[in-house]
Amino acid sequence: MSNFGQQPYYQRPMPLDYGTEAGSPAVASFFNAVYAWMCAGLALTAVIAYWVAGHPTILTQVLGGPVLIMLFIAQIVLVVVISAAVRRINATVATGLFLLYAALNGLTLSGIFLVYTNATIAGAFIASATMFGVMSVYGMLTHADLSGLGKIAFMALIGLIVASVVNFFLASSGLAWLISYAGVAIFAVLTAYDTQKLRQFALSTANDQAFASRIAVSGALMLYLDFLNLFLFLLQIMGGNRRR
């Protein structure tokens, strides 16, 4: 989730005057790369998920116990590697690892097409894109320092994970709804916080384009995870039109 990368990958930049340099060429170039790779990752995830959902034999194999567990482990490893090794790998390798992660996510998410209608999935995607866009723009332009709010959201995320594990055994529908709404709120805040943090990175790496390219891929992963979690929680909330 978005908790990866909460610590900076290099020496912490000096405090910035929030909101005054959002339109600088360095920031614009950096975020063009971040959003482009994020969208490429989401598109790859969606295409693979849809394709696998249309092939029952492959879908059965993917959703089988051992394969699904291996996919989850591989995704966790990839997130850790991309986040931790960003200073040691070049932009091409980082991009390849990110796209591999997005592809694996497509495999694991293919099952949503069996649970939810296409209309529900499309509605959740539109709602997620709208909320993500609003919060990301806010994080880019606000003069407020969101670091304190981001720390609160991160702690809430840990509580959310614990509650999700507990509810796996309780199977409480009421708790499931509470978790879904809390998840939307948490990842909306993290979207704004992560965007502001990436703006700091953009300004701090303006004179090192090679490093900025690697950070852009890691930033794309960060926002990709924020968007994907927003989408999944909203899908649960809007999932009344489930397939029968």
Report helix, strand or coil for 26.
helix
Reading the block at residue 178, the tokens are 């509470």
d(CA 169, CA 71): 22
Please state the pTM of the whole predicted model.
Answer: 0.86
Q: For the chain, which residues make up each domain, given as ranges?
A: 25-237
Is the CB of residue 44 less than 8 Å from the CB of residue 106? yes
Alpha-carbon separation of residue 27 from 24, 37, 39, 152 (angstroms): 5, 15, 18, 26
Give the pLDDT score at 20.
44
What's the DSSP call for residue 21?
S
DSSP H or E stretch at residue 211: helix 209-237
What does residue 242 show for φ and ψ, rounded to 5 degrees? Answer: -80, 155
Reading the block at residue 102, the tokens are 């997005």
Question: Running along the chain, 244 residues long, what does each successive block of 10 average in pLDDT?
Answer: 39 40 75 95 97 92 86 91 82 91 95 92 96 96 92 94 91 91 97 94 83 89 96 90 52
d(CA 30, CA 28): 5
What does residue 208 show for φ and ψ, rounded to 5 degrees? Answer: -135, 85
Reading the block at residue 51, the tokens are 């394709």
The packing angle between helices 147-170 and 173-204, to 10°, is: 150
Give the pLDDT score at 242.
58
Give the pLDDT score at 5.
39
d(CA 137, CA 109): 27
d(CA 188, CA 227): 9
Reading the block at residue 73, the tokens are 């482990």
d(CA 110, CA 102): 12
